[in-house]
Amino acid sequence: MASEVLSGSLVEVLRTPAPEVIVLPTTKEVDIQAFKILAQTVIDKPRAVLTLATGGTPLGLYALMAEAHKSHVLDFSGVTTKNLDEYWPLPKDHPQSYSRFMKDNLFNKINIPACQRHIPDSSAEDPLKETARYQSTLQSIGSSDLTILGIGPEMTCHIAFNERGSSLGSRVRLVDVSEETIKANARFFGGDQTEVPRRAITQGVADILESKRIILLAKGKSKALGIKRTLEGEISEDAPASFLRLHPKVTFILDEEAGSLLTRD
Ligand code: PGA
Q: In what order do the strands lie in the sheet with 49-52?
A: 20-24, 250-255, 214-218, 146-149, 49-52, 80-83, 117-118
Report the number of secondary-structure helices (H) and strands (E) in the chain: 8, 10
The neighbour count for residue 15, using CB atoms within 10 Å, is: 8
Question: How far apart, in whole angstroms, are the C-alpha atoms of residue 189 and residue 60?
Answer: 21
Is residue 55 within 6 Å of ligand 1 at its C-beta?
yes
Judged against a pLDDT cut of 70, whether residue 134 lies above it is answered with yes
Mean pLDDT of 4-9: 55
Q: Interhelix angle for 27-44 vs 59-70, to 10°?
A: 50
Better-scored residue on pLDDT, 265 or 107: 107
Judged against a pLDDT cut of 50, whether residue 3 lies above it is answered with no
Is residue 91 within 6 Å of ligand 1 at its C-beta?
no
**Spacing, Cα 151 to ligand 1 middle (Å):** 6
Question: How far apart, in whole angstroms, are the C-alpha atoms of residue 221 and residue 233?
Answer: 18
User: Alpha helix locations (H) across 45-95?
Assistant: 59-70
Question: How far apart, in whole angstroms, are the C-alpha atoms of residue 265 and residue 263?
Answer: 7
Binned at pLDDT 50, 70 and 90, residue 7 comes out as low
pLDDT value, residue 1? 43
Judged against a pLDDT cut of 70, whether residue 10 lies above it is answered with no
pLDDT value, residue 17? 82
Tell me the CB-side half-sphere exposure of residue 147, using CA atoms within 13 A.
Answer: 29
Our measurement of the distance from residue 33's CA atom to the centroid of its chain's CA atoms, rounded to an integer in Å, reads 16
Is residue 151 within 6 Å of ligand 1 at its C-beta?
yes
Is residue 27 within 6 Å of ligand 1 at its C-beta?
no
Task: Tell which residue, 30, 26, 15, 18, has the closest CA to residue 232.
Answer: 18
pLDDT value, residue 264? 74
- The enclosing H or E element of 253 equals strand 250-255
Do residues 248 and 17 lie in contact, with contact meaning Cβ atoms separated by under 8 Å?
A: yes
Check the CA dihedral 114-117-121-127 and report its sign: positive
Judged against a pLDDT cut of 50, whether residue 44 lies above it is answered with yes
Buried b (16+ CB within 10 A) or exposed e, 162-192: bbbebbbebebbbbebbebbbebbeeebeee
**Spacing, Cα 107 to ligand 1 middle (Å):** 19
Which of 31, 151, 164 to mutate for ligand 1's pocket (most ligand atoms within 8 Å of CB)?
Answer: 151
Better-scored residue on pLDDT, 105 or 10: 105
% of the chain at pLDDT higher than 90: 92
Question: How far apart, in whole angstroms, are the C-alpha atoms of residue 161 and residue 145?
Answer: 21
Judged against a pLDDT cut of 60, whether residue 4 lies above it is answered with no
% of the chain at pLDDT higher than 70: 94
Question: How far apart, in whole angstroms, are the C-alpha atoms of residue 85 and residue 179?
Answer: 17
Mean pLDDT of 6-20: 70
pTM of the model: 0.94
Mean pLDDT of 109-127: 98
Pairing of strands 20-24, 250-255: parallel
Query: For residue 89, is the peptide bond before it cis, meaning its omega torsion is within 30 degrees of 0?
Result: yes
Is residue 60 within 6 Å of ligand 1 at its C-beta?
no
**pLDDT tens column, 49-89:** 999 999 999 999 999 999 999 999 999 999 999 999 999 99
**pLDDT tens column, 146-201:** 999 999 999 999 999 999 999 999 999 999 999 999 999 999 999 999 999 999 99
Atom of ligand 1 nearest to the CA of 220: 5
pLDDT value, residue 37? 98
**Average pLDDT value over all residues in the chain:** 94
